A and B are shown apart, each in its own frame.
Chain A
Amino acid sequence: MLSHQNSSGKVVNMFDVLQYSFIQNALLAGTCVAVVAAIAGYFMIVRGLTFAGHALPNIGFAGAAGAVLLGIDPVIGLYVFTIGAAISIGLLGKEANERDTSIGIIMTFALGLGILFLSLYFGYAERVYSILFGQIVGISQADVVISGISSLLTLGIFLLLFRPLLFSSFDPEVAEARGVPIRLLAMIFLILIAITVSLSVQVVGALLVFTLLVGPAATASRIVQRPLWAIVIAILLGVSYTWLGIFFAANSNWPVSFYIATLSFGIYLPVRLLSPLWIGRRARRSAKEIYA
Chain B
Amino acid sequence: MARETQDPVSEPVITLEHVRIQFGKRTILDDVSLTVNEGEFIVVLGPNGAGKSTLLKLLLGLLKPNAGSIHVLGKPPRRGNNAIGYAPQHRQLEADLALRARDVVGFGLDGNRWGTGMPSARRKAIIDKALLEVDAFAFADAPIGQLSGGEQQRLLIAQALLANPRLLLLDEPLANLDISHEQEIVALVAKVCRTRNVAVMLVAHDINPLLPVVDRVLYIARGHTAIGPTDEVITSSTLSQLYGSPVEVVQALDRVFVVGAET
**Number of B interface residues in the complex (CB < 8 A):** 39
- The residue of chain A having its C-beta at the shortest distance from the C-beta of B109 within the complex is A163
Contact between chains at A220 and B143 (CB < 8 Å):
no
Contact between chains at B88 and A171 (CB < 8 Å):
yes
B106 → chain A, closest Cβ, in Å?
9
Q: Which residues of A contact B111 (CB under 8 A)?
A: 163-164, 166-167, 175, 178, 180
Q: Which residues of A contact B113 (CB under 8 A)?
A: 163-164
Contact between chains at A174 and B98 (CB < 8 Å):
no
CB under 8 Å from chain A, chain B span 63-98: 79-82, 84, 86-88, 94, 96-98
CB under 8 Å from chain B, chain A span 273-292: 279-280, 283-284, 286-288, 290-291
Contact between chains at B117 and A162 (CB < 8 Å):
yes
- Among A160, A174, A218, A287, contact of B141 (Cβ-Cβ < 8 Å): A287
Kindly state the separation between the CA atoms of A163 and B116 in the bound complex, as whole angstroms: 6
Q: Which residues of A contact B80 (CB under 8 A)?
A: 177-179
Contact between chains at B100 and A225 (CB < 8 Å):
yes
- The residue of chain A having its C-beta at the shortest distance from the C-beta of B84 within the complex is A177
Known: A160-B115, A163-B110. A174 touches B146 (CB 8 A): no
CB under 8 Å from chain B, chain A span 20-51: 42, 45-46, 48
Contact between chains at A160 and B98 (CB < 8 Å):
no
A96 → chain B, closest Cβ, in Å?
10
User: Is A230 an interface residue, CB under 8 A from the partner?
Assistant: yes
User: Is B250 an interface residue, CB under 8 A from the partner?
Assistant: no
Kindly state the separation between the CA atoms of A174 and B81 in the bound complex, as whole angstroms: 11
- Among A159, A163, A283, contact of B142 (Cβ-Cβ < 8 Å): A283
Contact between chains at B143 and A228 (CB < 8 Å):
no
- Among B98, B110, B112, B115, contact of A226 (Cβ-Cβ < 8 Å): B98
Contact between chains at A225 and B116 (CB < 8 Å):
no
Q: Which residues of B contact A45 (CB under 8 A)?
A: 96-98
Contact between chains at A283 and B100 (CB < 8 Å):
yes
Kindly state the separation between the CA atoms of A170 and B155 in the bound complex, as whole angstroms: 13
Kindly state the separation between the CA atoms of A236 and B261 in the bound complex, as whole angstroms: 59
Contact between chains at A174 and B138 (CB < 8 Å):
no
Contact between chains at B79 and A280 (CB < 8 Å):
no
- The residue of chain A having its C-beta at the shortest distance from the C-beta of B53 within the complex is A173
Known: A170-B107, A287-B141. A48 touches B112 (CB 8 A): no
User: Is B114 an interface residue, CB under 8 A from the partner?
Assistant: yes
Q: Which residues of B contact A221 (CB under 8 A)?
A: 96-98
- The residue of chain B having its C-beta at the shortest distance from the C-beta of A178 within the complex is B112
Contact between chains at B112 and A46 (CB < 8 Å):
no
A224 → chain B, closest Cβ, in Å?
7
Known: A170-B107, A171-B107. A224 touches B98 (CB 8 A): yes
Q: Which residues of A contact B94 (CB under 8 A)?
A: 48
Kindly state the separation between the CA atoms of A180 and B110 in the bound complex, as whole angstroms: 11
**Number of A interface residues in the complex (CB < 8 A):** 41
User: Is A161 an interface residue, CB under 8 A from the partner?
Assistant: yes
Known: A173-B88, A227-B103. A167 touches B143 (CB 8 A): no
Contact between chains at A222 and B96 (CB < 8 Å):
yes
User: Is B37 an interface residue, CB under 8 A from the partner?
Assistant: no
- The residue of chain A having its C-beta at the shortest distance from the C-beta of B113 within the complex is A163
User: Is B243 an interface residue, CB under 8 A from the partner?
Assistant: no
Q: Which residues of B contact A291 (CB under 8 A)?
A: 137-138
Q: Which residues of A contact B117 (CB under 8 A)?
A: 162-163
CB under 8 Å from chain A, chain B span 106-156: 107, 110-117, 137-143, 146, 156
Kindly state the separation between the CA atoms of A228 and B159 in the bound complex, as whole angstroms: 20
Kindly state the separation between the CA atoms of A225 and B81 in the bound complex, as whole angstroms: 30
A278 → chain B, closest Cβ, in Å?
10
B255 → chain A, closest Cβ, in Å?
32
Contact between chains at B116 and A159 (CB < 8 Å):
yes
Q: Which residues of B contact A222 (CB under 8 A)?
A: 96, 98
Contact between chains at B143 and A280 (CB < 8 Å):
yes
Q: Which residues of A contact B87 (CB under 8 A)?
A: 174
Known: A161-B114, A280-B146. A177 touches B79 (CB 8 A): yes
User: Is A73 an interface residue, CB under 8 A from the partner?
Assistant: no
Q: Which residues of B contact A16 (CB under 8 A)?
A: none
Kindly state the separation between the CA atoms of A221 and B143 in the bound complex, as whole angstroms: 10
List of 9 A-B pairs having minimum Cβ-Cβ separation, nearest first = A179-B80, A167-B111, A280-B146, A230-B98, A221-B98, A283-B142, A283-B141, A173-B88, A162-B116
Jot down 21 A-B pairs with beta carbons below 8 A, ordered by A. Answer: A48-B94, A159-B116, A163-B111, A163-B112, A163-B114, A163-B115, A163-B117, A164-B111, A167-B112, A170-B107, A171-B88, A174-B88, A174-B159, A174-B160, A177-B86, A178-B80, A179-B81, A226-B98, A227-B98, A287-B140, A290-B137
Beyond the given A163-B110, A174-B86, A218-B96, please list 11 additional residue pairs across the A-B interface where CB-CB is below 8 A.
A46-B99, A48-B94, A162-B117, A174-B107, A177-B84, A180-B111, A225-B100, A226-B100, A230-B98, A280-B142, A287-B141
